[in-house]
Amino acid sequence: MSLTPRQQLDRIFEDLFAANNPDARIIIAYIQKVLYQYGLWKAYDPKDILIEVYARGVKRVDAGETIRIPIAWIKRTAMNIIREFRREAEKIGYYNLDQELHWNDDLLLYITFQYDLKAMKQAFERLEPDEQQLLNLRVVNRLSWKAVSQGLVTAGEPEFKLEALRQRGFRVLRKLRKLYEEERKNIRFQFDESDSI
Amino acid sequence: MSSNTIDDFDLIAQNYQGIVLEYCFLSGLPTLTDEQADLLDRILAQAETDEILNFLLIEFDYLIAKKLNLLDDQHLPQYDNQQAYLREYLVQFTPEDPAYYRTLQKLLRDQGWYQGLLDGVFGEDSRQAIKHFQASVHLQSNGVLTLETVLKLAPTPEAALTLTRSRSPDDR
């Protein structure tokens, strides 16, 4: 039986905040960062914002609208909620707006697009072919785990139970980021070496 | 290589460098003006329909968070607690059996929150009733049928057990 839009929304959130999902911490950290940027980090936790995001998701699907790429939608909605909360806080003269935070000002020096992408590419190439295929199906094509499972079976892979497949997907993402960190260090080292010559 | 996979990195670099760098620049600012926030909003809106951009932004979110020490030992335990809370909070009961919703409607009606039909359809009237009930027990009043809400609504532990066992199997 196919899921209703509301059930699909619930599955998105349950999936995203499942214990082993490596994207969960990144999204929470992203929201923490926006709370810092708007001086609201003493007033709200990321979870407060995410609960409001979820409530807006419910309204959205009840109104017949779809959410095509959930993580992007969650990030955007969270940022706009925090902007609204900031405006409200200013309106009522909320006293606890605090901008003080140690902030690194050399972020763009740290992030070098070509080198980071190169590290990503090398990390991706170090994944097994079946892991690469899983990422492409899940991450790029945004397939549900059920659809990923069907896609893999069609490609001749054995059938996985959904929970096992989901855990495998999480492991692959974690592995990718670990490899990515390794590759990034190597690339940065080469880059720094050549730069200093 | 197909253009709709993440292994075509040269093409990705060519297409996304500008937007990703702009995103990183804006994401790394200590505060945002309205104009800067609008720019970020536009980038995020684009990511809502572009899987590759969404993937890249998440990976760069990871880098940014690392650089800003938002994934350090001070923050991570807090995130894990919040993640656990969200798992609990956002678990919603969505059984396919209308009898389940009739039971909920009856509980809401018995407690004076619902005046509609016991039709097993969890519509706007039922959601409003849940909202009022949630407000009365100091839960977030949003009409979402969470585990916490159901447990508070059930009159006895036995009833709570029956309700929470009615959940449909996970078919993600």
User: Across residues B94-115, what is the average pLDDT?
Assistant: 81
CB contact under 8 A, B65 and A26: yes
Q: Which residues in B lie closer than 8 A to residue A103 (C-beta atoms)?
A: 30, 68
In this prediction, residue A74 carries a pLDDT of: 96
User: Across residues B114-137, what is the average pLDDT?
Assistant: 87
CB contact under 8 A, B68 and A180: no
Mutate which of B86, B100, B134 to test chain A, going by most A C-beta atoms within 10 A? Answer: B86
CB contact under 8 A, B5 and A136: yes
pLDDT band at B133 (very low <50, low <70, confident <90, very high): very high
Residues 6+ apart with CB under 8 A from B128: B143
Nearest CA in chain A to B67: A107
Which of A107-121, A123-137, B103-117 has the lowest average pLDDT? A107-121
Spatial distance between the Cα atoms of B154 and B104, rounded to a whole number of angstroms: 9
CB contact under 8 A, B30 and A99: yes
Spatial distance between the Cα atoms of A49 and A30, rounded to a whole number of angstroms: 11
- DSSP label at residue B46: H
Q: Which of A24, A102, A111 sits opposite B24 (nearest CB)?
A: A111
User: Across residues B146-160, what is the average pLDDT?
Assistant: 73
- The pLDDT tens digits for A123-162 are 888 999 888 888 877 766 666 677 777 777 777 777 777 7
CB of B32 within 8 A of CB of B26? yes
Q: Does the pLDDT value for residue A31 go beyond 90? A: yes
**Whole-number average pLDDT of chain A:** 81
Which of A112-116, A176-180, B151-155, B167-171 has the lowest average pLDDT? B167-171
Q: Which residues in A lie closer than 8 A to residue B83 (C-beta atoms)?
A: 17, 19, 24-25, 28
Residue B39's CB is within 10 A of a number of other CB atoms, namely 16
Which of A84-88, A110-114, B77-81, B118-122 has the lowest average pLDDT? A110-114
- The pLDDT tens digits for A34-54 are 999 998 988 889 999 998 898
Nearest CA in chain B to A133: B5
CB contact under 8 A, A144 and B4: no
Q: Which of A13, A19, A110 sits opposite B67 (nearest CB)?
A: A110
- Which residue would you say has higher pLDDT here, B12 or B46? B46
CB contact under 8 A, A37 and B24: no
User: Across residues A49-66, what is the average pLDDT?
Assistant: 89
Q: Which of B51, B57, B71 sits opposite A29 (nearest CB)?
A: B71
Q: Does the pLDDT value for residue B2 go beyond 60? A: no
Whether CATH 1.25.40 fits A107-185: no
In this prediction, residue B93 carries a pLDDT of: 53
Q: Which residues in B lie closer than 8 A to residue A141 (C-beta atoms)?
A: 4, 51
User: Across residues A21-31, what is the average pLDDT?
Assistant: 93
User: Across residues B147-162, what is the average pLDDT?
Assistant: 72
Q: Does the pLDDT value for residue A197 go beyond 50? A: no
Mutate which of B82, B97, B139 to test chain A, going by most A C-beta atoms within 10 A? Answer: B82
Nearest CA in chain B to A54: B90
Tell me which long-range contacts B135-143 makes (C-beta under 8 A, separation of at least 24): B140/A51, B140/A55, B142/A51, B142/A55, B142/A58, B143/A58
CB contact under 8 A, A117 and B13: yes
Nearest CA in chain A to B82: A47
- The pLDDT tens digits for B93-103 are 555 567 778 88
ipTM of the complex: 0.82
pLDDT band at B168 (very low <50, low <70, confident <90, very high): very low
In this prediction, residue B48 carries a pLDDT of: 93
CB contact under 8 A, A71 and B54: yes
- Which residue would you say has higher pLDDT here, A29 or B169? A29
Spatial distance between the Cα atoms of B140 and B131, rounded to a whole number of angstroms: 8
CB contact under 8 A, B41 and A121: no
Q: What are phi and psi of B34, to 5 degrees?
A: -60, -40
Nearest CA in chain A to B42: A76
